[in-house]
Amino acid sequence: MTEENDIADSAAEPAGPTHSGFVALIGPTNAGKSTLLNRLVGAKVSIVSHKVQTTRAVIRGIATHRNAQIVFMDTPGIFKPRRRLDRAMVTSAWGGAKDADVIMLLIDSERGLRGDADAILEGLKDVPQRKILALNKIDRVKREDLLALAAAANEKVAFDQTFMVSAENGSGCDDVMDHLATTLPEGPWYYPEDQISDLPMRQLAAEITREKLFLRLHQELPYASHVETENWEERKDGSVRIEQVIYVERDSQKKITLGKNGETIKAISTASRKELSQILEQTVHLFLFVKVRENWGDDPERFREMGLEFPRG
Ligand SMILES: Nc1nc2c(ncn2[C@@H]2O[C@H](COP(=O)(O)OP(=O)(O)OP(=O)(O)O)[C@@H](O)[C@H]2O)c(=O)[nH]1
Ligand SMILES: [Mg+2]
């Protein structure tokens, strides 16, 4: 090995002991967990929408800060489940919490403890891990309201630390990273330095299309749909051909997804293709097919594809 290589190698390895650990981001649906994950990792790893129940399974995003590798686990929002898919999502969120070294509860500070946040605080009481609180969307609320909210939440659960952040504009996020980097246990890194996610590209591509579908379609349709990548073909000219299937439950939903003269599916496809081209840094030819599968919400195979346990009964 040349001397030059020696220097390059030692620059890649952080000096001093390394720290690492898993941090589960849990919270009510729409609190901004996925937005925060992307912000902390510094790349789009998990999809985001203004609608509730966007994230469906645990997604890992890997960040490095100082000597620490922090593996964030984005989880589905916790809410009162109704459908089988809901139940699987909520189970997966609490499962993510169980696997973590630290649990970070994210609360939308505009909504406060109303609704599901209160029930989650109740559930957190029995969880043995170290817990930290992050009040998100502080760009939307007055400081005195934040202090009152922090006090109310800390009365219910003994949080090690409370942070006030805006996942949207990044405010307060460095404090979170500093805290985690210094408090996670000493230990080797779990992933190669440049890895930011453990999601296979085919699945991320399906998620990107699902995000566009969430943003474009209204009411119950997003929740009745599911996207899978069926085919991925790298072309000699450096481009990639991707085929995806959008599953819906009824023929009427298929019609809405296609839109008049195919306008809706075209808009979804264009938006998804543009973002995929950026992420993959290559030309993308995207082909979307809409299929009716009445009972996809009760099909164990679809759950496996999503990385969810199939709840029996
Ligand atoms: N103003 C503001 N909006 C935010 C902030 N963080 C997230 N949002 C918005 O909140 C909405 C929900 O964000 P997500 O990241 O999808 O929320 P989530 O908690 O992952 O939601 P689920 O996956 O459905 O549980 C999106 O419209 C975001 O743009 C923030 O700090 N400030
Ligand atoms: Mg999410």
| Residue pLDDT, tens place only, 201-229 | 999 999 999 999 999 998 778 888 999 99
Q: Where are the domains of the chain?
A: 19-183, 201-306
| pLDDT over 60 at 3, yes or no | no
Predicted pLDDT at 13 = 56
Give how far the C-alpha of residue 284 lies from the chain's centroid of Cα atoms, to the nearest Å: 23
Ligand 1 atom nearest the C-alpha of 53 is 24
pLDDT for 91-120, tens place per residue? 999 998 988 999 999 999 999 998 899 999
pLDDT for 30-55, tens place per residue? 999 999 999 999 999 999 999 999 99
CATH top-level class of 19-183: alpha beta
What is the 137 CA–ligand 1 centroid distance (Å)? 8
- Return d(Cα 87, Cα 45) in angstroms, integer: 24
Find all residues with CB under 8 Å of 272, minimum gap 6, and list them.
Answer: 208, 209, 211, 212, 286, 288
pLDDT for 277-303, tens place per residue? 999 999 999 999 999 998 888 899 989
CB of 96 within 6 A of ligand 1: the answer is: no
pLDDT for 146-203, tens place per residue? 999 999 999 999 999 999 999 999 999 999 999 999 999 999 999 999 899 989 999 9
What is the 201 CA–ligand 1 centroid distance (Å)? 23
pTM of the model: 0.93
Same fold flag, 19-183 and 201-306: no
At residue 26, what is the residue type?
A: I
- Return d(Cα 306, Cα 28) in angstroms, integer: 20
CB of 31 within 6 A of ligand 1: the answer is: yes
- Return d(Cα 165, Cα 65) in angstroms, integer: 17
Q: Residue 201 corresponds to which tokens in the numbers above?
A: 């590209």
At residue 200, what is the residue type?
A: P
CB of 33 within 6 A of ligand 1: the answer is: yes
pLDDT for 51-91, tens place per residue? 999 999 999 999 999 999 999 999 999 999 889 999 999 99
What is the 173 CA–ligand 1 centroid distance (Å)? 15
CATH top-level class of 201-306: alpha beta
